[in-house]
Structure 1
Amino acid sequence: MATNYSAGRMPLDEQVIARAGRRVSWGAIFAGVVIAVAVQLLLGILGTGIGLSMVDPVEGTTPGATGFGIGAGIYWLITTVIALGAGGYAAARLSGVTEKFDALSHGLVVWGVTLILTLYLLTSAVGGLIGGAFRTVGSVAGAAGATVGAVAPRAAQVAGIDARDVRQEASAYLSDAPNDPAQMTAEQAQTEIARQLPALAHGGAAGQRAENRIVDVVAAQRKISREQAQAQVTRAKAQFVETKNDAVATAKSATDAAAGAAAGTSFILVLALLAGAGAAAFGATTATRRRLR
């Protein structure tokens, strides 16, 4: 009985066995990642064009920031699903796998590699540019400060001025105001009150001395009795405390709102990533089902 052989052709069963020993095709995964990133970029540029076409400052029909942000988020989710679905389909199709689980694995790996690549590009490129800019500004500022610090004493020496004389002259300028509040000008009184406010806010014995000093200045400047000045200072303190409490409450409310928004954004981002993983897996299994047919 004669046996016929086909030269240069491998039987279908042997092809399946050869591919079964190779469960992961990194070349196909790389190709799927490239396709996913390319599709994402293409649709992102298209979405940017669509968004810019909606801006019409002349007619005043530009959508609001909230609606525009929601629309951009929905569009980003749709483009992510399409891009990862295409990448997963291409990876499973090019890998030559015949098992649904193998195709599913290829799709999920495409999703993971695309996610890691995206995060790497964002943190390395953008973060590197921003960090480099801040480092440059810091270096320039540090160099300028060091230069000024080195040149100032030398300039003073050339001019024949001692640093202690400069400090004494500055102290003289600062202590030029008379100690008696009745002899102070309006500007000197305001300066004195401003100088006492930190101690007043701190409280304690120093705060009580600062309050007494402010009361004396107010009474002398407005030419009223000390009791009337004390009442005015007390009302001012009460208004300051009320304003501070309102500011603290507003800050707490804003912090709570920001935390809630950040938590909601995190949940939405997780759902979007899971949707992308599902799209990559669905595209990969779809390619496998078509191959099996």
Structure 2
Amino acid sequence: MLNVLGLAIGATAVDATAAQTPGASTFGIGAGIWLLVANTLGLLAGGYVAARLSGSGDSTDSALHGLSVWAIGFLLSAVLLGNIVAGTANTAFQGASSIIGGVVQGAGSAAGGAASAASGPLAQAAQQVNPQQLVERAQNALRSAGGDPAQMNSDQRNAEIVQILTRRVTDGNLPQDARDRLNRLVGAEYGIAPEEAQRRVQQVEQQAQQAAQVAEQRAREAADAAATGGAVAAYWIFAAMLLGAVAAVLGARFGTRHGPAARAYA
């Protein structure tokens, strides 16, 4: 009941129209404090009732009844949380399946419409495209690889430039002969001096390395933040469970029946 009340208070604090909603950090701190207090009060009351209804006057038995309430309460919470997570995942999967089905259906409709539209002038233009010419053009672009860059056409130079750059990305470095070849190709393609082509290639490599370093640094920072957040959350959960156990035992102590001491008569 206290958790539901906290949820209601948190939802009431949201005011999107007036743009006066507290920040995420404020919500997180408030929710954590409320959950801690609600958990402690609930287990305190549960331990008291369990010890009171047990009818035992032994403090150890009462403490064990309080710990039983604590253990069963956290077990039920874990089960309920698991069901919520599973239900959320199932809902998300069904939603994704519906979206994918809609996209596929829409793509099929679009393809049907495109096929209908292609029956006009677009179909005539498509019939004039010869796939064999495209293949021959690609083969021609790759056939003269390693030749004089000045005697190659633009398609041939660009094809070899892409090939060398692919080697640079996959291998992480280029041998000196491949680097010289790339400089000559760039110079011939853009009509610049070999020194200027070399400078441009080095500049592009530096920019690529800087971008890779920045991406790696951001990935490391994100992983570190996730690990730190997970550790902090685990510590808080452990503290909440420990405080809950103490509250359950104290409640059981308060609820223990203390009757008059029995006397032995001779």
Q: TM-score, normalised by structure 2?
A: 0.70
Q: Look up the match of 2:203.
A: 235
For residues 133 and 54 of structure 1, what CA distance do their matches in structure 2 show?
27
In the other structure, the counterpart of 2:243 is 275
1:82-231 mapped onto 2 (5 Å cutoff): 82-127=41-86, 129-130=88-89, 134=93, 172=136, 174-175=138-139, 177=141, 179=144, 183-184=153-154, 193-203=161-171, 211-231=179-199
Matched letter for residue 41 of structure 2? I
Runs of 5+ in structure 2 lacking a partner?
Answer: 105-130, 261-266
Counterpart secondary structure, 2:256: helix
1:260 Cα deviation (Å)?
1.9
- Aligned residue type for 2:47: G
Ranked by relative contact order (alpha carbons within 8 Å, sequence separation 6 or more), the top structure is 2
Amino acid at match of 2:12: S
The answer for the alignment partner of 1:49 in structure 2 is: 8
Q: Which residue of the partner structure matches residue 28 of structure 2?
A: 69
* TM-superposition CA deviations, 1:46-99 (whole Å, max 9, x none): 111111211122333211111111001100111111111121112111221111
Structure 1, unaligned stretches of length 5 or more? Answer: 1-41, 145-166
2:121: which partner in 1?
Answer: none
Number of aligned residues:
228
The residue type paired with residue 13 of structure 2 is M
Return the offset for 1:223: 0.3
Give the aligned partner of residue 260 of structure 1. 228
Q: TM-score, normalised by structure 1?
A: 0.65
CA distance in 1, matches of 2:66, 2:166: 63
Deviates more, 1:240-249 or 1:108-117: 240-249
Q: State percent identity of aligned pairs.
A: 35
1:292 and 1:99 mapped to 2: Cα distance? 10
Q: Any idea what SS the aligned residue of 1:79 has?
A: helix
Structure 1 residue 134: deviation in Å? 4.1
8 A contact 2:141–2:159 mirrored in 1: no
